[in-house]
Amino acid sequence: MALLLLTGTPALAGETPGGFVYLRDVDAGIRQDMRYATADNFTGRRLPGYEAGECVLKRAVAQALARVQADLARQDLSLKVYDCYRPMRAVRAMARWSQDTAAPDTSRFHPGLDKRRLFALGYISGQSAHARGVAVDLTLVPKGAQPPAFDPNARYGSCAGPLAGRAPDDSLDMGTGYDCFSTKSATHAATIAAEQRANRRTLLDAMRKHGFANYRREWWHFSYSAADTRVAYDFPITAR
């Protein structure tokens, strides 16, 4: 398949851009739960460009995550990634979803908010460090945890509600689910419990130690600026 940079530069069919790697080739122990390759995300559909549930990143980013993982192993914890490189076609699909009145009901991801306002409120952006291969969405899971099954026909509760009512996830309780458009998702939100705050602090400290910066409105979102070339990509994520 063709590679398309935002500069319009093409690559040969089947070619992966230089500097990108599959995370499992760098550290197979980091768990992967690639939500945009499934219907378990705020659009309710698999996003374009996610042809396989694989985490792809710039090599330096993947190597930094491996160092984080090694530190967390001493606490019997593991990273679990939800999203890594994100093709620009998926970024554009998110924008279309925000105005699509016929899309599946996924209000559990934006409780009390009109999805048409999510861009204006800063929860979704037309530009993304994910498209540059230097951002990752992740959480912490107990080492050896088994992922629960997602039921696409179930009616799960608000992502900002109690843990028992949210969609299933083996993450430590961070106070909200992943991709929860709520003020409770802010990294230092004052409205979460002490244990949830401590879990976020463990993740934040581990990531910062190895050069990652957190986005203050999303406890799960981290960027690695040392590898950022400010070039966005649109190649699809294919099976390894």
Look up residue 232 and give its two tokens. 């966005």
Residue 99 confidence (pLDDT) above 60:
yes
Domain ranges for the chain, please list them: 20-143+161-227
Instruction: Report which of residues 146 and 112 the model is more confident about.
Output: 112
d(CA 210, CA 221): 15
| Marked catalytic residue, from 15, 51, 54, 218 | 218
Q: Which of 55-59, 158-162, 227-231 has the lowest mean pLDDT?
A: 227-231
Asked if 218 is an active-site residue, the reply is yes
Q: pLDDT digit string (tens) for 74-96?
A: 999 999 999 999 999 999 999 99
Span 191-199, average pLDDT: 98
Is residue 157 very low, low, confident or very high in pLDDT (cuts 50, 70, 90)? very high
d(CA 81, CA 33): 6
pLDDT recorded at residue 15 = 52
Percent above pLDDT 90 for the chain? 85
Q: Which CATH number fits domain 20-143+161-227: 3.30.70.980, 3.40.50.140, 3.30.1380.10, 3.40.190.10?
A: 3.30.1380.10
Q: Does the predicted TM-score (pTM) go above 0.85?
A: yes
Measured in Å, how far apart are the chain's first and last C-alpha atoms?
Answer: 14
pLDDT higher than 70, residue 20: yes
